[in-house]
């Protein structure tokens, strides 16, 4: 299932969806993307990789042949996979749906919330190696 890397992102957040879209574009479609909440691929991958009592929705995940890298631990592997995609990627870019639609009461578009998510990503880190 993880012959190509899978980037799982928060599909209820516009900043996270933009991050996933840019990653997919930079990798020329090498990275598959899937949202935590609305993607069957993400649900299947999370069921296979994570323990039943673990909540993986706290951060984005890059899952490749070596394991699952979360947030800060996933930045270097993500960069590696983007470079790999530049060399061998195709032209098919995943369609990424942003579930969070803009209105004045939602906070997903504010600069403060985007900054909080960035700080949270840099503070959190996790790694689940494959055996």
Average pLDDT over residues 62-85: 95
1, part of any domain: no
68, part of any domain: yes
In angstroms, the CA 86 to CA 47 distance is: 30
Residue 102: the pLDDT is 45
80, part of any domain: yes
109, part of any domain: yes
In angstroms, the CA 45 to CA 90 distance is: 22
In angstroms, the CA 74 to CA 48 distance is: 18
Does the predicted model carry a pTM greater than 0.75?
A: yes
Residues belonging to the chain: 131
If one counts the domains in the chain, the total is 1
Average pLDDT over residues 59-73: 95
Range of the domain at 117: 6-129
Asked if 60 and 125 count as a contact pair (C-beta separation under 8 A), the reply is no
Share of the chain above pLDDT 90, in %: 53
- Residues 6+ away with beta carbon under 8 Å from 45: 1, 2, 6, 8, 34, 63
103 pLDDT more than 50: no
Average pLDDT over residues 83-110: 64
In angstroms, the CA 43 to CA 111 distance is: 29
Give burial (CB, 10 Å; 0-12/13-18/19+) of 102: exposed
DSSP, residue by residue, 32-43: EEEETTT-HHHH
DSSP 29: T
116, part of any domain: yes
């Amino acid at each position: 299932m993880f012959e190509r890397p899978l980037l799982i992102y928060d599909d209820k957040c516009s900043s996270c969806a933009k991050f996933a879209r840019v990653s997919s574009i930079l990798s020329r479609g090498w990275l598959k993307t899937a949202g935590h909440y609305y993607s069957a691929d993400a649900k299947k991958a999370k069921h296979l990789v994570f323990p039943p009592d673990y909540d993986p929705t706290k951060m984005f995940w890059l899952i490749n042949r070596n394991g699952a890298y979360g947030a800060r631990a996933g930045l270097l592997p993500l960069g590696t996979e983007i470079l790999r995609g530049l060399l061998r990627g195709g032209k098919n870019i995943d369609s990424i749906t942003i579930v969070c639609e803009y209105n004045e009461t939602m906070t997903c578009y504010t600069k403060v919330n985007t900054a909080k998510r960035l700080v949270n990503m840099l503070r959190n880190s996790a790694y689940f190696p494959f055996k």
